[in-house]
């Protein structure tokens, strides 16, 4: 037997899933899975349980798209996973239903927009790097000044901690630790 499975999510314990649960039940959900997690968290036990429970022919329903994922890429990925499993998707607020041809078209349009957005970001990044090079800038991590690296090693060998040496020379702490390991001055640290 196939049915509608609801998914409700709130970000904090101060919020309540009752309103979402009520709307999903009214829309025909036979079971509602819930999470009290930030949308940033990919660890969502309720959604994991829903995927384990769902069967081919079922439909996942949410009140709004943002309850299922924070980004368009995340939404597209989840809906693609649902499609692979033979599970439909419905968003009540946006009136999207991927079990219909029109709903599937809307998600394909979303996918095209996400791809376009990624390409624009990539092109802007490349343009920015090229413009920086024209101005004589070198994008990326700047090479370590060998004199500063040698001074850091001498300070560490003299008994100063790598963190203190880094502060004194205006270097990153991890840079000094990396140089200490690279040169074998680690015995002075231990």
- Between CA 42 and CA 101 the distance in angstroms is 29
Look up the CATH superfamily of 4-100.
Resolvase, N-terminal catalytic domain (3.40.50.1390)
Confidence band, pLDDT 50/70/90 cuts, at residue 31: very high
Catalytic residue annotation:
11
Q: Is the pTM of this model over 0.85?
A: no
**Across all residues in the chain, what is the average pLDDT?**
86
Residue 120 CA, distance from chain mean position: 19
At 117-140, the pLDDT tens digits run 878 888 998 998 888 889 988 877
- Between CA 94 and CA 152 the distance in angstroms is 59
Q: Which residue has the tokens 């015995």?
A: 187
- Between CA 189 and CA 74 the distance in angstroms is 45
Give mean pLDDT, residues 142-148.
Answer: 88
- Between CA 122 and CA 137 the distance in angstroms is 19
Instruction: Please determine, for residue 56, whether its predicted confidence score (pLDDT) is greater than 60.
Output: yes
């Amino acid at each position: 037997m196939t049915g509608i499975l609801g998914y409700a999510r709130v970000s904090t314990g101060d919020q309540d899933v009752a309103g979402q649960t009520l709307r999903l039940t009214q829309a025909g959900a036979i079971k509602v899975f819930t999470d009290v997690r930030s949308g940033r968290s990919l660890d969502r036990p309720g959604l994991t349980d829903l995927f384990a429970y769902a069967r081919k022919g079922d439909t996942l329903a949410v009140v709004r798209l943002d309850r299922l994922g924070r980004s368009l890429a995340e939404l597209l990925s989840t809906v693609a996973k649902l499609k692979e499993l033979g599970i439909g998707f419905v968003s009540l607020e946006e009136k999207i239903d991927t079990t219909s041809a029109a709903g599937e078209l809307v998600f394909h349009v979303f996918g095209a927009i996400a791809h376009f957005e990624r390409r624009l970001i990539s092109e802007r990044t490349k343009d920015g790097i090229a413009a920086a090079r024209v101005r004589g800038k070198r994008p990326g991590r700047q090479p370590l000044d060998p004199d500063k690296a040698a001074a850091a090693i001498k300070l560490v060998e003299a008994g100063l901690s790598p963190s203190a040496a880094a502060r004194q020379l205006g270097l990153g702490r991890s840079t000094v630790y990396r140089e200490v390991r690279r040169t074998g001055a680690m015995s002075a640290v231990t």
